[in-house]
Amino acid sequence: MAAYADISATSYMVSVGNQSKIACYFTEDKVSESYNLEKKIYCPIIINNYHVIACIDNGSDLTVMQYNLFRDIFANLHRRLLKPSNLKTIKSFSDDSIHVHGQVNCIIRFTAPDSHSQITLTVIDDIPGVPLFLFGNDSLRKCCAVLAFAGDISNPTPEMIVRNPIEQPVKIFYEAPRDLFTCSTSVYLKPFETKSVTFVLNQATPVLRKYEVIISSRSWGNTYVLPSKSDLEFDYKMRLIRLQPKWQI
């Protein structure tokens, strides 16, 4: 389970018994960008009539969900649904202990409206910077899921099909975790005009419909709006350097 903007440590770290760990790190971000190494596979899953984003990881033995997300999905029922687990803690691949709150048998749905599957959720402590919902190998096996890369051989994309209880394709999002919390909008304004705008979240953003989303700027500074035809020319520090007609396209 890796930090949002990092390549997953579970893909590059080996632990053998109590011996020292072997780790491999990339020092240049360009490597990650050119080979899509940081991208992870996400899919939408319907749980208790909520649209929930899961990070698919067939390297994880268990399907885990952080406690606060579990509580938000089941609201007043979460204490009654959560059952004791034989597992008091689980180990991450980096050998860190994670506290287990309990387990729950959960009904989920993918694309088909009348097709339901049952999986076991292991509810764990909240851990900042890691996926809230990890769809692990146990659930992939129960759903008889087929996960593969297909398409253009120079830029293959993941595809997933589940065959239990019926065969159906699953919508897949292939996104870099660093992009999940970036939103955008586009607006055209006339002089002295104001407009209400709608911001679009990343399709794999892990939010529920009842969440309130706070949008803030990545950076703060002056905004300069220039006409398309101007007698003024500025340098990159917005200092006036020339007075002559200029067209901006």
Q: Residue 9 above 90 pLDDT?
A: no
**pLDDT tier, 94 (very low <50, low <70, confident <90, very high otherwise):** confident
Q: Which two tokens stand for residue 244?
A: 């002559």
Give pLDDT tens digits for 63-92. Answer: 999 999 999 999 988 989 999 998 889 988
- Confidence band of 109 (pLDDT split at 50, 70, 90): very high
What counts of helices (H) and strands (E) characterise the chain?
Answer: 4, 15
**Per-residue confidence (pLDDT) for residue 14, from 0 to 100:** 37
pTM: 0.75
Domains and their CATH numbers in the chain: 9-179 (2.40.70.10)
What is residue 29's predicted lDDT score, i.e. its pLDDT? 54
pLDDT of residue 204: 95
Neighbours of 136 (CB within 10 A): 22
What was the pLDDT predicted at 241?
52
Distance CA 233, CA 122 (A): 61
* 218, 222, 227, 232 alpha-carbon torsion, rounded to 10°: -130
- Quick one: pLDDT at residue 8? 42
What are 176-227's pLDDT values in tens digits?
A: 998 999 888 888 878 788 888 888 999 999 999 999 988 887 777 776 666 5
Least confident segment among 14-18, 37-41, 121-125, 153-157 = 14-18
pLDDT the model gives residue 227: 58
Measured between alpha carbons, how far is 113 from 212 in angstroms, rounded to an integer?
Answer: 27
Helix (H) or strand (E) holding 72: helix 67-74
Q: What is the mean pLDDT of the chain?
A: 80
Look at residue 191 in the predicted model and tell me its pLDDT: 76
